[in-house]
Amino acid sequence: MAYGIYPSYMDFTRMDKLAVITGATSGIGAEFARQLAATHKVLWLIGRREQKLNQLAESLHAQYGSETHVMIMDLSDESVIEQLAQQLEEQAQLSILVNNAGYAEDGEYHKMDWHLHQDIMNVHVTATLKLSHAALKVMSESNLGTIINVSSVASFLPTPSSPLYGPTKAFIRSFSESLALKYEDRNIKIQALCPGFTTTDFHEKIGLDPDSFYKDRGIMRSWSSEFVVKKSLLDVEKGKIVSIPGWNYKLVVMLVRLLPISWILKMISGQEASHRYSK
C-alpha cells in the first residue's frame, strides 16, 4: 500500500527523500512515522501486524498526503533482513533509517529454546548491522543522512530476567557510538536512542494497566512515545549521539556510570531475589 518522511531540521527542498522505519506497527516506531510524516513525503513502514500498519498508513495519507508503503516483514528471519538490505541499497533517495524493531524474551537462559535467542539476536543485532551497512552505502554517496538505532536505558544495566535484552541493546548503543564518530565528518548523523519505560501498546498486549504498572516504581515512571520521539529528533538536530529521554532516566544512567559495578550487580541481584520470593 502506498500512501513521507524527512527530519524537520533538514533542507525542506529535499522532501522527495525516503525514510525507513522498522517496528513501525505501534509505540515508538509508529510515533516516528507520525512525527516525520508531517514534513516528509515518502515513508516505508515495516512490521509484522498488517492491519495496524495499514491503519497507520491510511491515517498518515489522510492527514499529510504521505506516500507510505506498508511492508510486512519478520526481521527474525535473516533472509528477510538481507532482502530489505538489498532494497535499501537501491534507494538513492534514502535519507533516514530508524532501526526500531525490538522486543524482550523473558526466562532462564538455558531453559529457553535456542531459536528464541537466535531470533532476538537477528532482530536487534543482525538487522541493525545489515540495514545500517546498506543505508550508509547510499548516504556516503551524498554525504547526507540520518540513522537512529533504538537502544534502551537497559543497555547500561544487566537484565538477568531477559538474558539477551540488555546485552543486545548495549551492542546497539556501542555500535551507534562507534559509527557516529566515524561518519560525523560526512554530515551523516547516527544516534543511539535509549528510552526507559515508555507507555505503548506493550501493556495492553500483556493485560496491564500502565498507571498500575508504574505506580510503585518511584522515579522509574514512564514517558509517552510522543515525548520520546520528539526528544530523539531534537537531539539528532543538536548532534547528540546518545539520546536519553526523561530527566529520571538521565539520572539513572548518571548513577550507573558513577557507582561501582559491584554495587550495581548487588542491587540488581537483590531485585531479582525479591521478585522470585514475592511470587
Instruction: Give the model confidence (pLDDT) of 158-204 as tens digits.
Output: 999 999 999 999 999 999 999 999 999 999 999 999 999 988 765 55
Least confident range of 72-76, 105-109, 209-213: 209-213
Q: The domain that contains 16 carries what CATH number? A: 3.40.50.720
What confidence score (pLDDT) does residue 1 get? 41
What confidence score (pLDDT) does residue 55 get? 96
What confidence score (pLDDT) does residue 5 get? 33
Residue 53 lies in a domain: yes
CB 66 within 8 A of CB 37: yes
Task: State the Cα–Cα distance between residues 255 and 200, nearest whole angstrom.
Answer: 26
- DSSP H or E run through 20: strand 18-22
Residue 139 lies in a domain: yes
Name the pTM for this structure. 0.87
Average confidence (pLDDT) over 117-124: 98
10 Å CB burial of residue 49 (0-12, 13-18, 19+) is middle
Residue 223 lies in a domain: yes
Task: State the Cα–Cα distance between residues 241 and 248, nearest whole angstrom.
Answer: 19
Confidence class for position 11, pLDDT limits 50, 70, 90: very low
To 10 degrees, the CA torsion angle through 2, 232, 195, 149?
60
Confidence class for position 263, pLDDT limits 50, 70, 90: confident
Structure-block grid coordinates of residue 112: 529457553
Q: Looking at the predicted structure, is the pLDDT value of residue 63 above 70?
A: yes
Residue 122 lies in a domain: yes
Confidence class for position 222, pLDDT limits 50, 70, 90: confident
What confidence score (pLDDT) does residue 122 get? 98
Exposure string (b/e) for 192-230, b if CB count within 10 Å is 16 or more?
bbbbbbbbbebbeeeeeebeeebeeeeeeebbebebbbe
Task: State the Cα–Cα distance between residues 217 and 13, nearest whole angstrom.
Answer: 46
Residue 86 lies in a domain: yes
Structure-block grid coordinates of residue 13: 527542498
CB 19 within 8 A of CB 40: yes
Q: How many domains is the chain built from?
A: 1
Confidence class for position 106, pLDDT limits 50, 70, 90: very high
Residue 17 lies in a domain: yes
Q: Looking at the predicted structure, is the pLDDT value of residue 15 above 70?
A: no
Instruction: Give the model confidence (pLDDT) of 141-165 as tens digits.
Output: 999 999 999 999 999 999 999 999 9
Task: State the Cα–Cα distance between residues 105 and 121, nearest whole angstrom.
Answer: 11
What confidence score (pLDDT) does residue 48 get? 95
Cα–Cα distances in angstroms (integers) from residue 253 to residues 57, 144, 157, 206, 246, in the given order: 36, 31, 9, 27, 11
Compute the mean pLDDT over every residue in the chain, rounded to the nearest whole number.
Answer: 87
Residue 4 lies in a domain: no
Exposure string (b/e) for 263-276, b if CB count within 10 Å is 16 or more?
ebeeebeeeeeeee
Task: State the Cα–Cα distance between residues 69 and 46, nearest whole angstrom.
Answer: 8
What confidence score (pLDDT) does residue 262 get? 82
Helix axes 127-142, 78-89, angle to 10 degrees: 10
Residue 94 lies in a domain: yes
For residue 75, the enclosing domain spans 12-249
Higher-pLDDT residue of 267 and 218 is 267
